[in-house]
Amino acid sequence: MAPREQWTSKIGFILAAAGSAIGLGAIWKFPYMAGTNGGSVFVLLFIISTIAIGLPILLAEFVIGRMGQADAITTLKRLSPGKKWTVIGWIGFIFGIIVLSFYSVVGGWILSYLARALIFKLDVTDHGALFASISSNPVEVLLAQAVFLLLTIWIVQGGIKAGIERASSWMMPLLFIFFIILAIRSLTLEGAMEGVRFLFVPDWSQLTGSTFLLALGQAFFSLSIGVTGMMTYASYLPKGERLVPSAVNVSILNIFISILAGLVIFPAVFALGQSPDEGPGLIFVILPAIFEQIPFGTVFLIIFFILMLFATLTSSISMLEIVVSIGIRSKYDRRRRAAYVFGALIFIIGIPSALSFGVLSDWHVFGGTIFDFADLLTSRIGMPIGALLVSIFAGFILTKQQTSDELEAHPIVHTIWKFLIRYAAPTAIVVIFGAWIYELLK
């Protein structure tokens, strides 16, 4: 039987974990959420929420995963024998499949845009119509989704060292470099400073309870916690590696990339007279229109969509790894077969989401498309419940001695973390969940 792999270096683990967190949440969702919710005030609340709430839960997943040294279900069985805490692992397995089923659809859209940019086919009058045309074409969306999933499968089937760590180790540095290039180009546009002020100079009139809740939710979801992805990655981390610095580094990288995304988008939006509150279409509709007005804009647009592809892939890899690690348990020689089998299953489950904007556009669940429903199930139900259970498990089920030994941190740091994971994090999750239920029932 093949031995269980481990990360070859701490930096490899951090880059992979950061890649899991830095996906569409940071690059696609953060800019439009900031744009529609007060700009700089939202950014400030997002940073505070990431450090105070997101980081403790991330660290809890690291602690549980590294203690168990196995897939999420086996880990929880080992740490709480005879108890029902394996439900956290099953939440990760089920919602990992659902997340990737619709996430791969967006990955497919990115591939479609990238392909068009490479052959100079994005120079159109109406980018909204182009997006509608791409997302409603059943052949194109399914083919692009399949290609994106095959890329994800190819990386995951290679294992931790040769697959995930190797891919993350070159994709993440390139992602940072591309982002910095695009941010510099955006900042050199005439009128760009208006976008910088929007991002960094607080307008306190925008400070509302709703803004705080949305920023808290963004911080929570952008770190990819609640579906055992970070727990799974930490399980491949050797004993002796310090967890607190790793969790801090991942959180800082997530904040850094989110702000960089804002520096790419908002200076360009303001410089070219566009509105920052365009919502979800900001990336696929507004940005291509902006780039085509900039000298060498096509080149920068190609770089942007390559960057988007890398960010989406690093997150999709972690989702498939959750499912594969649980599927093979300790039979590590079955990784390759499991990656393809689960990848094919996820593709089939994702077909309705892929067709939600075309042939199935009239099919609605709770007022939204099938794609919207899959997103709602994971981001509003699965992830909060999973993270709440992780917080309770790490805060109350694991003993103080167990968590202290695993963290290897100063007693004051451990005490603060224990308080946050026991009380602050669960309260924040319940408030977010309760606010969403309230809005749903209004």
Q: Tokens in use for 164? A: 């995930």
User: What pLDDT does 274 receive?
Assistant: 74
∠ Cα 16 17 20 (to 5°):
90
Tens digit of pLDDT for each residue in 272-292?
Answer: 777 776 655 667 877 787 777
Tens digit of pLDDT for each residue in 303-356?
Answer: 888 888 988 899 999 999 999 999 998 787 889 999 999 999 999 999 999 999
User: 364-372: long-range contacts at Cβ-Cβ below 8 A with a sequence spacing of 24 or more?
Assistant: 371/102, 371/105
Neighbour count for residue 346 (Cβ, 10 Å): 26
Do 209 and 438 contact (CB within 8 A), yes or no? Answer: no
- HSE (side-chain half, CA atoms, 13 Å) at 250: 34
User: What pLDDT does 80 receive?
Assistant: 92
Q: Tokens in use for 192? A: 């760009």
Do 241 and 10 contact (CB within 8 A), yes or no? Answer: yes
Neighbour count for residue 20 (Cβ, 10 Å): 28
Tens digit of pLDDT for each residue in 141-153?
Answer: 999 999 999 999 9
Give dist(CA 342, CA 326) in Å, integer: 11
The DSSP element (H or E) to which 290 belongs, if any, is helix 286-291
In the block, residue with structure tokens 């942007």: 304
Do 346 and 101 contact (CB within 8 A), yes or no? Answer: yes
In the block, residue with structure tokens 């089923």: 101
Give dist(CA 95, CA 111) in Å, integer: 24
The DSSP element (H or E) to which 298 belongs, if any, is helix 297-328
Q: If you write DSSP's letter for every residue of 88-154 in order, what string do you get?
A: HHHHHHHHHHHHHHHHHHHHHHHHHHHHHHHTT----S-HHHHHHHHHH-HHHHHHHHHHHHHHHHH
pTM exceeds 0.75 = yes
Give dist(CA 92, CA 369) in Å, integer: 23
Residue type, 281: G
Average pLDDT of the residues of the chain = 88
The class that CATH gives domain 10-441 is: mainly alpha
Residues 6+ apart with CB under 8 A from 415: none
Q: Tokens in use for 33? A: 């959420």
DSSP state at residue 249: H
User: What pLDDT does 138 receive?
Assistant: 95
Q: Where are the domains of the chain?
A: 10-441
User: What pLDDT does 327 receive?
Assistant: 92
Mean pLDDT (10-residue bins), the chain, 442 residues: 79 89 77 82 91 93 94 94 92 94 93 89 78 92 97 94 90 87 86 89 81 80 85 91 91 90 85 70 74 79 87 92 91 89 97 94 87 84 90 94 89 93 92 79 74
List beta partners, residue 368.
365
User: What pLDDT does 289 receive?
Assistant: 76
